[in-house]
Amino acid sequence: MTADLSQLVKAYDVRGVVPDQWDEPLAELFGAAFVQVTGADAIVIGHDMRPSSPGLSRAFARGAAARGVDVTEIGLCSTDQLYYASGALGLPGAMFTASHNPARYNGIKMCRAGAAPVGQDTGLSEIRRLAETWLDSGAAPASDATPGTITRRETLDDYAAYLRSLVDLTSIRPLKVVVDAGNGMGGHTVPTVFSGLPLELVPMYFELDGTFPNHEANPLDPANIVDLQKRVREEGADLGLAFDGDADRCFVVDERGEPVSPSAITALVAARELDRNGGGTVIHNLITSWSVPEVVREHGGTPVRTRVGHSFIKAEMASSGAIFGGEHSAHYYFRDFWNADTGMLAALHVLAALGGQDGPLSGLVAEYDRYVGSGEINSTVDDQAARLAAVRAAYESREGVVLDELDGLTVTLEDTWFNVRPSNTEPLLRLNAEARDEATMARVRDEVLKIIRA
């Protein structure tokens, strides 16, 4: 294996093909580098159900323990269960997962104590530099420290109890809920979290299988929720939930099998958290719906708009003391969960809101889904800057236009807005558009795409 760490170490995590791009000896170097950069004397490690995850996780543990650090292994877990362990135990953590990527991939999501993120600007670039240096020399330098211990600890029951302590579901009306775990870690966490609640659970693809035999574990791709939509209708269920591979994201479909926009879920959860806290700050990225800041203000809160990307959301959560944050990608962040993202807690809020009234989910979320969105549309371009400049030139002189460049280019007019932003890793421009009605959205979407793809 010839490792190119510039390809392997991304903006927020490590991710690549095993064993072509990385393997257990490199995972061991990452473990040693992680503890050196964090200065930890103890860490916690978890992993998902991918075939390569247990070996990579154990190699990382060996690398850490060899430098005198005590390692707590929590074994199979969701990413938010690892964040729970990092927060509850006060330890830096590492989660072995490649989220929704295909089976041959694996990765590491790392955090400092209290689930604080480790990204390029907060330690990941230094971890990469150390690992590269040691890889070139063949090994990490010997340590004088007494090797640390590696012990096993179960956290699933404590994780489930903690989530249930944040949302009271004991008095809701009985609900029938279909859950598609996509053969990912939702199949591990959902039965325990839902146990004893007034929920009739209809499980789909709960068998842990990192080869993903039924469909990719990425619920944002419409093709991957078709089975869930069909089953919700067949069962006459109240709603459906779909989790991604590491179960940190949750996607919702209503009783008709129709997808519920993550912006609507963000607004619904924001309203509940604001009502519970008597106000507060709510973070949303710049491509969530107009509905989100409107609902936040209506419930006495202060909306704060950020760039796209979980590192920006988490940083703003910490600096502003926000109670909640949401993204268009179905990542939901909670102050009461160490500012980390947990799709499971968002799902519990949806179940509590639905079960606390008599109407269907479609009626409940209509209050929070006020506009028509395009969804994210990707276009391959030769020159991102030139196409962005062309879009700007086409709109900057229009009456009443507001332009901003917080992340790419956002153009706001009276009855519509759109954002065009470049991908950091591919020659793509990503378009998101929203309007007050379908016809206006379609017109603006097609107009902007024509410029981008000219």
pLDDT digits (tens, 9 = 90+) for 148-194: 999 999 999 999 999 999 999 999 999 999 999 999 999 999 999 99
Q: Residue 2: its pLDDT value, please? A: 63
Strand order in the sheet with 259-260: 199-204, 175-180, 239-243, 250-253, 259-260
Q: Which residues of the chain carry a pLDDT beneath 50? A: none
Strand segments (E) across 254-314: 259-260, 280-285, 301-306
Question: What's the pLDDT score for residue 408?
Answer: 97
Residue 1, pLDDT score: 61
Tell me, what's the pLDDT at 299?
98
Which residue is it, tokens 């799902």? 347
pLDDT at 426: 83
CB burial string 81-103: b at 16+ within 10 A, e below? bbbbbbbbbebbbbbbbbbbbeb
Looking at residue 3, its pLDDT comes to 80
CA–CA distance, 120 with 73 (Å, rounded to integer)? 25
Among 99, 261, 289, 329, the active-site one is 99
Measured in degrees and rounded to the nearest 5, phi and psi for residue 404 equal: -150, 155
Is residue 282 a contact partner of residue 323, using CB atoms and an 8 Å limit?
Answer: yes
Distances (CA, A) of 13 to 16, 110, 111, 118: 10, 7, 10, 8
| Predicted model pTM | 0.96
99 catalytic residue (yes or no): yes
pLDDT for the residue 138: 85
